[in-house]
Copies of this chain bind each other. A is one copy, B any other.
Amino acid sequence: MGPELQAQIAELNIVCLAGGVGGAKLASGLAQIAPTQHLTIIVNTGDDFQLLGLTICPDMDTVTYTLGDVSNLQTGWGREGESWVTIEEVRRLGGPSWFSLGDLDLATHLVRSQFLAEGQTLTSATRHLCTQYGIKTQLLPMSDQAAPTMIVTKDDVLPFQTWFVKEGWQPAIRQVQLPQDVRATAQVIHALEKADIVIVAPSNPFVSIDPILNVYPIREMIMDLPRAVVAVSPIVGGKAIKGPAAKMMAEMGLPVSAAAVASYYGELIDGFICDQEDAHISQTIHCETLVCDTIMRNKGDRARLAEDVLGFALSVAD
């Protein structure tokens, strides 16, 4: 990174909206290059659910494990070096075992559930866990209220993780249902008030980013406040990098393309970053567009993309 860009970044207050894997990787890249005290990751909690007495926050855990450098890079979820003694016994005892909780991962949910049972907020429990995982970047749940994302299929209305994991995201989606009257925390509002740049991570627009924007007044603040809002496409060459984004777009009657994602975000964003594979469609995008390599295979890729994104955001802001 050039000294000029470095100096500019050092002055920025940056907020990143993140879901699971894609969000975690970009957050980790941002954490490598931006000053800790100026970076906040607002994480989707629409996937959170209760199982086996525990409160499980899949997106927050993915971001935490990635930033804490303990994530399983093979699976894209869970802890590295994981074992499965307890969940195998849960299965043997006839309990629900469709959500693969490893023995190390389980400790996170147990400690979180303990703090919540003591009356702490999810924000406070998250801060505690981040400290224990050695994470200095501020990770904030979008809300301390429950805000379950529901997936409407032909036959059912399913909580997100039931659809995503238990049903293997196979039932065709008709609609994503987001809850009414969920409020952002004071910490989220404070971070957005200060934000110069908001980055929408390459996460699923419908079930990772929309749930965050749906929390009042996050969308309103992002429309009004920052100098620039830029989004990174989760769709590359007409396919999702990971997960059901492409399948959902097709089922909801949208073109499966980076341009359609940009168009979906519409007036919210001032700039859009798509992969070089989609360079040919960059002219059709309604806002300023950066074409670069958006695939994050390793830590170096994450930092490089973070740098590209911030440099672009600064140019858009000017």
User: What is the interface of chain A, defined by CB distance below 8 A to chain B?
Assistant: 50-55, 83, 85-87, 89-90, 92-96, 103-104, 106-111, 113-114, 116-117, 128-129, 131-133
> Top 6 closest A-B pairs, CB basis?
A53-B113, A89-B107, A95-B111, A52-B110, A85-B103, A93-B132
Question: Given the complex, which residues of B lie within 8 Å of A111, measured CB to CB?
Answer: 52, 90, 93-95
Q: Which of B53, B83, B114 contacts A96 (CB 8 A)?
A: B114
Which of A109, A114, A133: most chain B Cβ within 10 A?
A114
CA distance A87 to B50 in the complex (A): 20
Given A86-B103, A94-B128, 4 further pairs, Cβ under 8 A: A53-B114, A83-B85, A94-B131, A95-B114
Question: Given the complex, which residues of B lie within 8 Å of A131, measured CB to CB?
Answer: 94
Q: Which residue of B lies closest to A87 (CB)?
A: B107
Q: Which of B92, B96, B107, B117 contacts A50 (CB 8 A)?
A: B117
A93 touches B107 (CB 8 A): yes
A171 to chain B: closest CB distance in Å?
23
Q: Which residue of B lies closest to A88 (CB)?
A: B107
A81 to chain B: closest CB distance in Å?
10
Q: Which of B87, B104, B117 contacts A53 (CB 8 A)?
A: B117
A to B CB contacts below 8 Å, 6 in the list: A52-B110, A86-B86, A86-B103, A86-B104, A86-B110, A94-B111
A132 touches B53 (CB 8 A): no
Q: Which of B55, B83, B95, B116 contacts A110 (CB 8 A)?
A: B95
A52 touches B114 (CB 8 A): yes
Q: Which residue of B lies closest to A116 (CB)?
A: B53
CA distance A24 to B289 in the complex (A): 70
Question: Given the complex, which residues of B lie within 8 Å of A53, measured CB to CB?
Answer: 53-55, 109-110, 113-114, 116-117
B103 touches A89 (CB 8 A): yes
CA distance A94 to B130 in the complex (A): 11
Which of A51, A94, A111: most chain B Cβ within 10 A?
A111
